Amino acid sequence: MVSSQSLSERRPVIQVREAGGIELDGRVWLDPDKRRDCAIVTHAHGDHIGKHGLTHATPATAALMKLRLGDELEIVEHELEVPFELEGLKVTLYSAGHMLGSAMVLVERDGERLLFTGDVKLRDNLTCPRAVVPECDRLITESTFGIPVFRFPPAETVREQMGDFVAACHRAGENPVILAYAVGKGQEVAKALGEAGIGVCVPTWTWEVMELYRQFGVEFPNAVLYDGTNLGGRVLVVPPGRRYQSLLKRISNKRIGYASGWALRGRAPFPAEIDEFFPLSDHADFDELLELIERSRPREVLVIHGYKEAFARELCARGLEARPLA
């Protein structure tokens, strides 16, 4: 994996700058946090979307962005693995396996291949295709869970744990609640439980996102909109945000589970009484990040987000050229 030619001998072709998003060649932005003229948005989580002059995204990400930010957004839609030209760059989107519509961005110019992961996971995701990892010369990767403490059990095991939690609640005459973000995780949890034959209810915002997922062929058996009264023998899948705390308070005799990669650290989203943690993440864990690098075979790795210094050090110790991006 290590090139015999050092970086100083091989000057990068595509210029990369991190400044609240990734700027390429001074013209194209990847997931910028400010309004930019020309942006590629990898997926529809709140910290990746914005109102730009012109946005390029997959059809599902475009639809989710319009649901979140308004119909007036100008978005050019691109199917996965169909290359397009943008400001002198050849761009191809590949599934990132992170949520519906999520994509990695492969950018090519003058023989150099630069891959930006956005948010990525390699394990299976019930609501989108698995990640497809192309080979590249330079890789810009996230490292949300880039330290060895974050090694998740198989997703199937975590889904079973959630099912067991619901069954145990019902046996004890308690109301089961699972906290999961409204866009992405909530749909994955609702689908996992529903497909296991468990009745699910969700609040309005999670439901509206599910309706959009349905337009892209993702089905949610055994799921209904929560009517705000009683759970009627169902599990409530609700976002962990503070605005849902009053809704939670109205549910008596409940047990609360939380579906998140941070479960391995027992970190709660707000001062809530969490009875059980489920390490179900939409991000790659430490081993998957290493696998991502093995599969993409880059000669240089630039690390962003999360444990970027620690992960870059780990890669250097393994003989790779790697550094955190400022």
Minimum distance of Zn ion from residue 231's CB (angstroms): 29
Burial class (CB in 10 A: 0-12, 13-18, 19+), 227: exposed
CA dihedral 269, 270, 271, 276 (to 10 degrees): -30
Rounded-to-integer distance, Cα 298 and Cα 91, Å: 17
Cβ atoms 285, 151 nearer than 8 A: yes
Nearer to Zn ion, 108 or 119 (CB): 119
Minimum distance of Zn ion from residue 15's CB (angstroms): 25
Cβ atoms 223, 200 nearer than 8 A: yes
CA distance from start to end of the chain = 24
Q: Under DSSP, is residue 81 helix (H, G, I), strand (E, B) or coil? A: coil
Minimum distance of Zn ion from residue 104's CB (angstroms): 12
Locate 170 and state its tokens. Answer: 């019902």
Nearer to Zn ion, 45 or 52 (CB): 45
Nearer to Zn ion, 45 or 113 (CB): 45
The residue type found at 316 is: C
Minimum distance of Zn ion from residue 263's CB (angstroms): 17
Nearer to Zn ion, 45 or 255 (CB): 45
Cβ atoms 35, 93 nearer than 8 A: no
The conformation of residue 244, written as its DSSP 8-state character, comes to G
Minimum distance of Zn ion from residue 273's CB (angstroms): 27
Nearer to Zn ion, 119 or 321 (CB): 119
Minimum distance of Zn ion from residue 75's CB (angstroms): 18
Burial class (CB in 10 A: 0-12, 13-18, 19+), 254: middle
Nearer to Zn ion, 119 or 137 (CB): 119
* Contacting positions for Zn ion (CB under 5 A): 45, 119
Locate 247 and state its tokens. Answer: 């809704």
Minimum distance of Zn ion from residue 45's CB (angstroms): 3
Q: What are the two backbone dihedrals, phi and then psi, of residue 275, each rounded to the nearest 5 degrees? A: -85, -30
